[in-house]
Amino acid sequence: MSITGNYYARTSDGKEVYSYTLENAAGMRAVVIEYGCAVTELCVPDKNGALRDVVLGYRTLEEYEQGDAGMGAFIGRYANRIENACFTIDGKTYALEANNGPNHLHGVLGHRVFQGRILKEGHGEDEQQRLELKYKSPNGEDGFPGNLEVTVTYTLTDSGSLVMDYIASTDAPTIVNFTNHSYFNLDGQDGGTVHDHIVHIDACQFCEGNEQTCPTGRLLDVEGTPFDFRGERALREGLESDDAQIVMARGYDHNFVLDKSNGMLELAATVYSEVSGIEMKVYTTQPGMQVYTANSLGGSGVGKNGKPFVNHQAVCFETQHFPCTPSHPEFPPVELRPHEEYHQTTAYAFLVK
């Protein structure tokens, strides 16, 4: 695998942003920019050997700055929602920005400039490269306590996996929940909607959502619902159903409780397109995964192909801890304290069927 870095653009406040191109021996290519650690391009060979760019994105840095879709970005300090935009830790309540109705959604790290560098290990044919991006989130940023040191690492393996590694440490008690918000369409930029993508998810339960897509605290069984992906089913079946949870969210925007060992890198989901022949497998150490079918993407901008985005044009597999965990202490904990290390890994592996 090789990585090259190049100047990309300047932010509106004058910060230089570099882009990094990761390529493997099979010709697969990923492009990551320092702004939000966003994956702006992910080109994968299809069943005919042609490369397809399977992640949506914008054409300019200005669009990434102005966009609110989290396009391809690293998400934090807290991925997904925090109910009523506040949380309490050690008896002290912290108020966050209410940027999603009365709730807090995702945070600002997807709109920060990270410092990237290419790391090399080994020599000659044994040399391995990875991209490391760092950011220091100051105490009080977005309302969160603690100075948080964040490291995001991307590795593109010769076997066809884009591996994302997240590490963080703090100097004061806080909460942390990171994810990546790439929008996948395995048919490429002109692939239409993902209605016919075939999905499998290793989950027997999902979080019931309320009108604001916040978990109610109830974990519902997937049996007999459009959320049962334990076999394989097209997204169309659920998207066109009259299930109350689907109708309320205008599609899938729900956290699946993954059937996996705590902290182990295991298979969470697969998605396949018969059109391209591309299959993507999602592996993660995280306990949950938000499946989001781009229900509000329409009207949010123009894609790399110059065409306006449409609803259900992509599907996100946001591996994470559960949304609104501070409101539900029965959920897996998200607290991070000094002298502890937050460390999670997710891999998106590609092959052709």
Q: Is there a catalytic annotation at residue 318?
A: yes
Q: Which of 51, 22, 47, 40 minimizes the C-alpha distance to 161?
A: 22
Task: Give the active site residue among 104, 254, 318, 321.
Answer: 318
How much is the pLDDT for 10? Answer: 98
How far is Cα 189 from Cα 57, in angstroms, rounded to an integer?
Answer: 9
How much is the pLDDT for 2? Answer: 94
Q: Which of 213, 217, 191 minimizes the C-alpha distance to 304?
A: 191
How much is the pLDDT for 121? Answer: 87
How much is the pLDDT for 122? Answer: 80
How far is Cα 59 from Cα 40, in angstroms, rounded to an integer?
Answer: 9
Residue 158 to residues 161, 162, 303, Cα–Cα distance (Å): 7, 10, 28
**pLDDT tens sequence across 59-85:** 999 999 999 999 999 999 999 999 999
Taking 50 as the pLDDT cut, the residues of the chain under it are none
Q: What is the pTM of this model?
A: 0.97
Beta strands in 2-50 (DSSP E): 2-10, 16-23, 29-33, 39-45
How far is Cα 170 from Cα 136, in angstroms, rounded to an integer?
Answer: 10
| Domain-wise residue ranges, the chain | 2-352
User: Quick one: CATH architecture of 2-352?
Assistant: Distorted Sandwich (2.70)
How much is the pLDDT for 262? Answer: 84
How far is Cα 241 from Cα 252, in angstroms, rounded to an integer?
Answer: 11
How much is the pLDDT for 320? Answer: 98
Give the position of tokens 């123009």. 302
Residue 298 to residues 56, 290, 313, Cα–Cα distance (Å): 13, 19, 9
Residue ranges of the binding site: 80-81, 181-183, 253
How far is Cα 286 from Cα 262, in angstroms, rounded to an integer?
Answer: 8
Q: Phi and psi dihedrals of 65, rounded to 5?
A: -65, -40
How much is the pLDDT for 239? Answer: 98
How far is Cα 179 from Cα 189, in angstroms, rounded to an integer?
Answer: 23
Q: Is there a catalytic annotation at residue 65?
A: no
Residue ranges of the binding site for beta-D-galactose: 80-81, 181-183, 253
Helices and strands counted in the chain (H then E): 3, 27
Task: Give the active site residue among 104, 106, 111, 181.
Answer: 181
